[in-house]
Chain A
Amino acid sequence: MTASPQDLGLAEQAAAVGAGKVSPEELFAATAARAAVLDRETNAVCATFTGTFSEHLEQAGHGPLFGVPCGIKDMFAMDWRVPEDGTPVPAHTVGGGEAGAVRALRRAGGLPLLATNLHQLGIGTTGHITGRGPIRNPWDLDRCAGGSSGGSAVVVAARAVAGAVGTDAAGSIRIPSSYCGIVGLKPTWGAVPVDGYTGSYSTMGVVGPMTRDAGDCRLLATALLGREPAGARLDVPRIGIPRASHWIDVDPDVRARCEAAVDCFADAGAPVEDIEIAGSGHLTIAAIVSTGTERLPQLDRHWMETVLPHLHPSVRGLIKTRFELSANLVQRVLRYRSMLRRDVAALFDRVDVIAMPTVPTPPPSVDRPRAELPSGVTSADAAALHFSALANLTGIPAISFPCGLDRSGLPVGISLHARWGREDLLLDLAERFERLTDRTYLPPVDLDRRAPERVSG
Chain B
Amino acid sequence: MSTGSEPAPVEGAMLGMEPLDAEEAGVARAAHTMLATLVEDFMTLPLADVPIDRSCYGEEPAS
Contact = CB atoms under 8 A, between A and B. Distances in A.
B17 A420 contact: no
Interface string A324-346: 10000100101111110110010
Interface of B: 1, 8-12, 15-18, 20-21, 23-28, 31-32, 34-35, 38-39, 41-43, 45, 47, 50-53, 56-61, 63
A56 to B, nearest CB: 32
A314 interface: yes
Interface in A285-342: 285-286, 288, 299-301, 304-305, 308-309, 313-314, 316-318, 320-321, 323-324, 329, 332, 334-339, 341-342
Contact of A335 (B26, B32, B50): B50
Given A320-B9, A321-B28, A335-B52, A305 B16 contact: yes
A281 B52 contact: no
Contacts of A288: 35, 38
A321 B58 contact: no
Which among A190, A279, A282, A299 has the highest number of chain B CB atoms within 10 Å? A282
B53 A337 contact: yes
A313 B60 contact: no
A59 interface: no
A318 B31 contact: yes
B20 A320 contact: yes
B34 A379 contact: yes
Contacts of B16: 301, 304-305
A338 B52 contact: yes
A345 B20 contact: no
B54 to A, nearest CB: 9
* Main DSSP-derived SS at the B contact region: loop
A313 B38 contact: no
Contact of B45 (A189, A305, A336): A336
A324 to B, nearest CB: 5
A329 B39 contact: yes
Given A285-B38, A317-B23, A338-B52, A304 B58 contact: no
Given A317-B26, A321-B35, A341-B57, 5 more contacts: A189-B58, A286-B42, A309-B1, A338-B51, A345-B61
A106 interface: no
B61 A317 contact: no
A384 to B, nearest CB: 14
Interface string A161-173: 0000000000000
Contact of A320 (B8, B45, B52): B8
A404 interface: no
B15 A300 contact: yes
A417 B10 CA distance: 40
A338 B28 contact: no
Contacts of B52: 334-335, 338
A339 B1 CA distance: 44
Given A285-B35, A299-B15, A321-B28, A342 B61 contact: yes
Contacts of A304: 12, 15-17
Given A335-B47, A336-B45, A317 B58 contact: no
A332 B25 CA distance: 27
A420 B47 contact: no
Contacts of B34: 379, 382
A394 B60 CA distance: 9
A420 B35 contact: no
Contacts of A332: 42-43, 45, 47
Given A304-B17, A305-B16, A420 B60 contact: yes
Given A332-B42, A332-B47, A335-B47, A341 B53 contact: yes
A84 B39 CA distance: 32
Contacts of A93: none
Given A284-B38, A285-B35, A338-B52, A420 B59 contact: yes
A194 to B, nearest CB: 11
A329 B25 CA distance: 22
A191 interface: yes
A360 interface: no
B57 A203 contact: yes
A363 interface: no
